[in-house]
Chains A and B, each alone.
Chain A
């Protein structure tokens, strides 16, 4: 695994405009960064990332199965009691999922370690499935990268195939797509998924989360009062379950992507639960619920809220004592977990985090993010990669 400096394509910003990639620069900071790329061997990709990703996913499904059958665990995961049946049913019916992203610490050697699972609302999808794919095509065409170079990135192909299957096997003829207003990045991600679903022959109307209505017959409605029967939402279950329309979920009969059972594994309670079930698995870091912190002997630990996004509200514990707050944020009221500290590998001034994608249960590619701080924050940069 190497970091290789590279000349940005002279016309890349123009290309970005042409393809509607509007969030390559955010808040005045570059987000898409092609001044370098990471290079892996095929063996690193297949043995250290692809296979463990699929195995970790199966381990997560094992945890879902365990949690939905146990009131104590549902409570420990802070799932609101009113929705226990709804979530358990979504799992018993095996409601289909679309995708997820595992965040891994990996430096080219030894087993990758799972930091967390973005199982519900993962982003950086467009940059991965399409934009870095196009980057490699362009650089190979210009003779800047060897013709036999490849990329671990079948994301777009697998997404279109998954939508095709949802249509044929699960009768998803029309999917409403939704995300919050006011986020260019989220809207871009959702537009990309609309394009993938549309390529599979599905109708793809869009509306913002805030615009979803509730009809007199109990169905959710779009702006034209059409019932929403199938819906992709880039909006977390932990919010939906606690908001006003949460009470209408059961009678609405809507099929959601991601399905409600994903609320169990997008929750950081997953980490200690994985450790309980698969202690000492090479791809796991030791993790405990806050109240079991005495089991964490010595060393450095990271304390994270059960629900949080983009590295918010994280602190560092040393020898169960000192406490350094590493990031600020609005989360934490639902409790915390602790996970053994495993620093991100450093390349020059850059700390590197690997996002490993799954479409349903198949490993589908990676995204690489760099940050100048140890905790990957919102404004980390996205870099492409190749296999050679």
Chain B
């Protein structure tokens, strides 16, 4: 019954136990992603500061600084944002978050922990992206590198060299403010109000 079993071989029960679990537990299998499948890849280096970069590329101090500044700008634009310091620290660790106030509101965001650079020494334009890491025991990317849209790199933060998917360097979508809410969901109110026997049910079928 092993090779042609028609049901799921095993189900990890603790993951589905809901009575005591406050937050979904991060599972230790998030590291399979840098496998061979999907998209092209860019040989990339991670640096924690412009000096770190210069040590590696003494002949490219200008590029190192420019890449850092580009990453910092991208960081300000695309970093994960949280309403409370608590939520931010839950994800990134204590003292890893900064308070930011802008014209569209205030929030907490993690510090940029490093930046990833591709093609720094090529004549073609180089790419640069901010990276984060977490010191929080609750986080699925504790001691790993993660991009602002949640891509977690394999291995721990000591690893500085990757073949990163080229999508890592794509410009991330951003929003400055939400102009409207409630534009989806109106049909439910209309259709669920028929008849007196209406049972406020969902829309699955």
Contacts and interface: CB of A to CB of B under 8 A. Distances in A.
A334 interface: no
Contacts of A203: 140, 150
A18 B18 contact: yes
Contacts of A182: 200
B183 A212 contact: yes
Interface residues of A, number: 95
B184 A243 contact: yes
A168 interface: yes
B57 interface: no
B184 A209 contact: yes
A203 B19 CA distance: 21
Contact of B203 (A171, A186, A328): A186
Contacts of A204: 24
Given A201-B33, A227-B173, A243-B185, A189 B11 contact: no
Given A130-B16, A387-B6, A199 B205 contact: no
Interface string B134-173: 0000001000000101111000000000000101000001
Given A213-B181, A214-B178, A201 B152 contact: yes
Contact of A212 (B8, B30, B37, B181): B181
A346 to B, nearest CB: 23
A183 B200 contact: yes
A181 B200 CA distance: 10
Given A152-B7, A195-B24, A173 B183 contact: no
A227 B171 CA distance: 13
B22 interface: no
B18 A210 contact: no
A270 to B, nearest CB: 13
B202 A154 contact: no
Nearest to B187: A239
Interface in A103-153: 118, 120-124, 129-130, 133-134, 136, 148, 150-153
A13 interface: no
A8 interface: no
A155 interface: yes
Contacts of A181: 185
Contacts of A121: 203-205
Given A215-B175, A243-B183, A201 B204 contact: no
B23 to A, nearest CB: 11
Contacts of A330: 190-191, 194-195
Task: Tell me what chain A mostly uses at the interface: helix, strand, loop, or mixed.
Answer: mixed
Contact of B7 (A120, A133, A242, A245): A133
Contact of A154 (B8, B29, B186): B8
A136 B7 contact: yes
Nearest to B152: A201
A234 B202 CA distance: 9
B124 interface: no
B2 to A, nearest CB: 11
Interface in B61-85: 80-83
Contact of A213 (B39, B80, B178): B178
B175 A217 contact: yes
Contact of A240 (B150, B184, B194): B184
A204 B177 CA distance: 22
Interface of A: 17-20, 26-27, 42, 45, 101, 118, 120-124, 129-130, 133-134, 136, 148, 150-157, 164-165, 167-171, 173-174, 179-183, 185-186, 189, 191-192, 194-195, 198-201, 203-204, 208-217, 219, 221, 224-227, 229, 234-236, 239-240, 242-245, 248, 253, 266, 309-310, 328-331, 365, 378-379, 387
Interface of B: 1, 5-9, 11-13, 15-19, 24, 27, 29-33, 35, 37-39, 80-83, 105, 107, 140, 147, 149-152, 165, 167, 173-188, 190-191, 194-195, 197, 199-205
